[in-house]
Chains A and B, each alone.
Chain A
């Protein structure tokens, strides 16, 4: 019970507040920037050279305000916006009218979540194990080489890594497809061929995410382990003559892993940003690609929907990691 009262409930409270603040900010941004999204649409039509009756334009503005939830006072709009979030209805998309925004997002979300979760979990596990071992033997040549590799990959933006991978493996050596989720015209089915096709398309985007995240995890884990291996209990274990493998996995790695779990929750936001960019490069049919469509077509409803959904999705994932944390850290369990 102690865990529930001292850890879970405060964390849930923070979760709700985080989503509330995040959504409020995304509500305020379009209302306090000088650009009116409705006027932007009108200008776009005007730019096509079409002529409209002032009365029709007036009507159009009215309808668009209604659609965008920009009608009434700020407070009314805000209440309407919160309602939209709770009901999960962000109105119709303007470019794919009258498809609801939510439907477009739900169609894209599985792609992003699939790619992101697999890449994140793989990168986290590999990065921590390799980083831990390289930290324990940090004076060896191979460990230094691994550290050098991670140091070079880590600062390079996702976009550049993705671009280099496309150039190398889809353009120079056409082993993998240039982009897309599956080959055009394939129907989703549970056959081996479809799954292989899926995997082939997901490989490069996933690899670009894994490379960067692996380096991040590797570098942090390595320095954590370098620090942990001089701790008294490790020295004591060494003096007792414990086998190196036991010392490494049970004494050093396990203790160093704890901050890495909470660290992952903090990093999720930037990992998600990376996924958006990667999807754009590989035209992977996820959130990043529809976000790009929303920008280029000025689809305001779709953009607001994506921003809100991303905030909720990432905050929820961070919450899940934090809720799993007591399972690995006995100190919280017994508090």
Chain B
């Protein structure tokens, strides 16, 4: 798809692209929250996807290191009662939680975008039915449903499956958003201009609509990663996540199971809690930063403030 996009870009577009990059640079400078969020997120991605390669311990094995040791030079974040090194466990947990989050987010978004496009373009009874189903999934509390599924498939639960289940239950919102975007874009002047000058539907979507919705998709993708990781943590607290794998949720689960707080092993519970707080704030800052960049009114305001 990227190649195709590239071939579609003509020389004038490249100039546009350069201005876009320049705008982004100024925006980054002006929007401190976004920059901070992006920085923390990058560190987390490094921790989660680069460091586990060098890990001396397998996260699934217990009793690898002396238990209940407070943070020290050899174990920078301390060790657990189950004999795991918290620092290396945390790197795996960040990676696995992010994988679950990305699968859950991308899956839910994909279902939502496809159904939203169909609803917006087809209209009529198809539209009504899709919107009704989406509304149902928006209104009803998804956690009890998720818990019901989780308690039934508990034994077979693995990370991709968990992500897929989360995706299947959180696709309601993007349907509504995409549908209303399609409805508004469809009536715009440039749609008619493009259609009357003989542009195909695909080309219309790629060249005209995609730039309009690209930032929205990116922003909501990141926001939904946050929601999906949050759901995983919540499920784990109810004892329904992939508890054998290291995830942020299962770290908390085992710390609670072994009464880490009452026994004064604070580093065990503090590690996942602080990672979750930082990770969620950074994801949130990045997602609202992108959403703000997309909003032309705020964008101009920010750019003026930045100069």
Given A269-B141, A295-B240: A155 touches B149 (CB 8 Å cut-off): no
Query: Of A30, A154, A273, A318, which is in contact with the most chain B CB atoms at under 10 Å from its CB?
Result: A273
Number of interface residues of A (CB under 8 A): 51
Given A273-B234, A292-B238, A295-B239: A21 touches B153 (CB 8 Å cut-off): no
Complex A-B, nearest 10 residue pairs according to Cβ-Cβ distance, in ascending order: A155-B284, A273-B143, A155-B280, A272-B141, A33-B152, A22-B140, A269-B141, A307-B144, A21-B136, A157-B230
Residues A156 and B143 in contact, CB atoms below 8 Å apart: no
Residues A167 and B234 in contact, CB atoms below 8 Å apart: no
Q: With a CB–CB cut-off of 8 A, which chain B residues contact A22?
A: 136, 140
Bound Cα distance from A265 to B135, whole angstroms: 11
Q: With a CB–CB cut-off of 8 A, which chain A residues contact B142?
A: 269-270, 273
Q: Smallest distance from the beta carbon of A229 to chain B beta carbons, Å?
A: 12
Bound Cα distance from A318 to B139, whole angstroms: 7
Is A14 on the interface with B (CB-CB < 8 A)? yes
Per-residue B-contact encoding for A258-300, CB less than 8 Å = 1, 0 else: 0000000110111011001100100000000001100110100
Residues B277 and A156 in contact, CB atoms below 8 Å apart: yes
Q: Smallest distance from the beta carbon of A36 to chain B beta carbons, Å?
A: 9
Given A35-B152, A171-B261: A306 touches B144 (CB 8 Å cut-off): yes
Residues B140 and A303 in contact, CB atoms below 8 Å apart: no
Residues B148 and A18 in contact, CB atoms below 8 Å apart: no
- A-B residue pair count with CB separations less than 8 angstroms: 128
Bound Cα distance from A265 to B238, whole angstroms: 26
Residues B152 and A155 in contact, CB atoms below 8 Å apart: no
Is B273 on the interface with A (CB-CB < 8 A)? yes
Bound Cα distance from A171 to B261, whole angstroms: 9
Known: A21-B136, A33-B152, A155-B281. 17 other contacts (CB 8 A): A14-B132, A14-B135, A26-B145, A29-B145, A29-B148, A29-B149, A35-B154, A155-B284, A156-B277, A156-B281, A159-B252, A270-B141, A277-B234, A291-B147, A295-B151, A303-B151, A314-B140
Bound Cα distance from A26 to B230, whole angstroms: 22
Q: With a CB–CB cut-off of 8 A, which chain B residues contact A277?
A: 143, 234, 237
Is B233 on the interface with A (CB-CB < 8 A)? yes
Bound Cα distance from A253 to B285, whole angstroms: 26
Interface residues of A (CB under 8 A from B): 14, 17-18, 21-22, 25-26, 29-30, 33-35, 37, 151-152, 154-160, 163-164, 167, 171, 227, 265-266, 268-270, 272-273, 276-277, 280, 291-292, 295-296, 298, 303-304, 306-307, 310-311, 314-315, 318
Q: With a CB–CB cut-off of 8 A, which chain A residues contact B184?
A: none
Residues B276 and A157 in contact, CB atoms below 8 Å apart: yes
Residues A266 and B148 in contact, CB atoms below 8 Å apart: no
Query: Which parts of B197-247 form the interface with A (CB within 8 Å)?
Result: 226, 230, 233-234, 237-240
Query: Which parts of B34-78 form the interface with A (CB within 8 Å)?
Result: none
Q: With a CB–CB cut-off of 8 A, which chain A residues contact B83?
A: none
Q: With a CB–CB cut-off of 8 A, which chain B residues contact A151?
A: 33, 281, 284-285, 288
Q: With a CB–CB cut-off of 8 A, which chain B residues contact A156?
A: 276-277, 280-281
The closest CB in chain B to the CB of A295 belongs to B151
Residues B280 and A157 in contact, CB atoms below 8 Å apart: yes
Residues A276 and B280 in contact, CB atoms below 8 Å apart: no
Number of interface residues of B (CB under 8 A): 43
Query: Of B226, B261, B277, which is in contact with the most chain A CB atoms at under 10 Å from its CB?
Result: B277
Is B155 on the interface with A (CB-CB < 8 A)? yes
Q: With a CB–CB cut-off of 8 A, which chain A residues contact B261?
A: 167, 171
Residues B138 and A160 in contact, CB atoms below 8 Å apart: no
Q: With a CB–CB cut-off of 8 A, which chain A residues contact B153?
A: 33-35
Q: With a CB–CB cut-off of 8 A, which chain B residues contact A158?
A: 234
Contact among B33, B233, B273 for A164, CB-based, below 8 A: B273
Q: With a CB–CB cut-off of 8 A, which chain B residues contact A304?
A: 148
Contact among B141, B149, B240, B273 for A273, CB-based, below 8 A: B141
Residues A35 and B276 in contact, CB atoms below 8 Å apart: no
Residues B141 and A311 in contact, CB atoms below 8 Å apart: yes
Given A34-B156, A35-B155, A160-B276: A296 touches B239 (CB 8 Å cut-off): yes
Q: Smallest distance from the beta carbon of B222 to chain A beta carbons, Å?
A: 11
Residues A155 and B226 in contact, CB atoms below 8 Å apart: yes
Bound Cα distance from A227 to B297, whole angstroms: 9
Per-residue A-contact encoding for B238-271, CB less than 8 Å = 1, 0 else: 1110000000000010000000010000000100
Query: Of B132, B237, B281, which is in contact with the most chain A CB atoms at under 10 Å from its CB?
Result: B237
Bound Cα distance from A167 to B237, whole angstroms: 17
Is B190 on the interface with A (CB-CB < 8 A)? no
Residues B144 and A291 in contact, CB atoms below 8 Å apart: yes
Contact among A21, A34, A276, A295 for B132, CB-based, below 8 A: A21
The closest CB in chain A to the CB of B292 belongs to A223
Bound Cα distance from A277 to B239, whole angstroms: 12
Contact among A30, A155, A171, A280 for B238, CB-based, below 8 A: A280
Residues B149 and A33 in contact, CB atoms below 8 Å apart: yes
Q: Smallest distance from the beta carbon of B73 to chain A beta carbons, Å?
A: 27
Q: Smallest distance from the beta carbon of A259 to chain B beta carbons, Å?
A: 14
Bound Cα distance from A266 to B138, whole angstroms: 7
